[in-house]
Structure 1
Amino acid sequence: MELEQLIKLINVVSDSKLTEFKYETEEICIKMGKKEDVKVVTAEMPTQTAALPVVQPAASVTAEALPEETQASQQEGSLVTSPLVGTFYAAPAEDAEPFVKVGDKVKKGQVLAIVEAMKLMNEIESEYDGTVAEILVENAQGVEYGQPLFRIQ
């Protein structure tokens, strides 16, 4: 799930009357609840956990409130997430071709991108065999720990 989609989801939950919301797939589990007009949002990955505290008015949401394209993209494929905070690079050099493009077939262990952190270049490898269905971040964009980078089908 992209950060923008997560923010939209939080806002929809905030504007509703639900007191608790949970969305879960094989790759991600998002739970939102509210206490005393304060909402805390936590996103959990099976192999790693990322917490995103958000203080907003109490709220709730139903799956029908999400855009259809968001629901569809969350249900199909497996996500490759960033193992660290840094800068995402789609290619090994500025003038080089990207490691992968949407539609490319990939194998488990194949390099998909680089995340630079503290002047160290960290190769991001595919955790799955399949086809690159979506690249969820832009070249040279800052990324967070656990942030989805690619969707592999």
Structure 2
Amino acid sequence: MDKKKLQAQTVRDLLNIMDEGNLSAIRYKDGDVKIELERTLPRVDGLSLPHMAQRVRELIDTEASASGTTAGAASAPVAQHEDSDTLVRSPMVGTFYVGPSPDEDPFVKPGQEVLTGQTLAIVEAMKMMNEIKAPAPGIVTEVLAANGAQVEYDQPLFRIATEASAQ
């Protein structure tokens, strides 16, 4: 498949991912190819973010296989760490914030119990605030990114001891 057709297919795939996940923005970079898509949509349903992140990873892995390159961090497992802790990863490139504003407390702190769907942080991308939600109930054991730091797609943000590993 020539480069233009592959890029056109990538854009179509990214638009499908945006539609399925009700996403307002998405960025994709592969070598010298950089694609940024943005549109105004209703607020993202936090429960669909892990699913959409997995779809983007699958897309990257598929394209990496087709081009003969490796996908790097995008191919790393999302849900579980070696010791059965859940790693919550960034679904996009953006700025990581632990609280709703600089003068307010963080959404969560290490040692705090969280429920599925509870807001853990915000990743700002293209002036859109995207809530990062807990994918499973458990206890936050570690915050892996600094407040105000730039985060990459698929970068680990939190480690949560799930109920299965906490027992």
Aligned with residue 141 of structure 1, among 149, 158, 165: 149
Match of 1:152 in 2: 160
Residues of 2 paired with 1:113 and 1:148: CA distance? 12
Q: CA deviation at 1:75?
A: 2.5
Residues of 2 paired with 1:79 and 1:47: CA distance? 7
Residues of 2 paired with 1:74 and 1:136: CA distance? 16
Match of 1:111 in 2: 119
Please identify runs of 4+ aligned residues in structure 1 that moved more than 4 A: none
Residues of 2 paired with 1:134 and 1:47: CA distance? 16
Q: Which has the higher strand share?
A: 1
Match of 2:13 in 1: none
Superposition TM-score, scaled by structure 1 size:
0.55
Report how many aligned residue pairs link the two structures. 91
Superposition TM-score, scaled by structure 2 size:
0.50
Match of 2:9 in 1: none
Q: Secondary structure at the residue paired with 2:72?
A: strand
Aligned with residue 109 of structure 2, among 59, 79, 101: 101
Structure 1 gaps, min length 5: 1-39, 49-72
Q: 1:86-142 CA distances to partner (integer Å, 9 max, x unpaired)?
A: 000000001000000000000010000000000000000000100000000000000
Residues of 1 paired with 2:109 and 2:78: CA distance? 26
Aligned with residue 72 of structure 2, among 24, 35, 42: 42
Aligned with residue 79 of structure 1, among 83, 87, 91: 87
Q: Which has the higher helix share?
A: 2
Residues of 2 paired with 1:103 and 1:74: CA distance? 20
Structure 2 gaps, min length 5: 1-69, 162-167
Q: CA deviation at 1:45?
A: 3.8
Match of 2:99 in 1: 91
Residues of 1 paired with 2:82 and 2:96: CA distance? 22
Structure 1 vs Structure 2: percent identity of aligned residues?
52
Residue identity matched to 1:42 = G
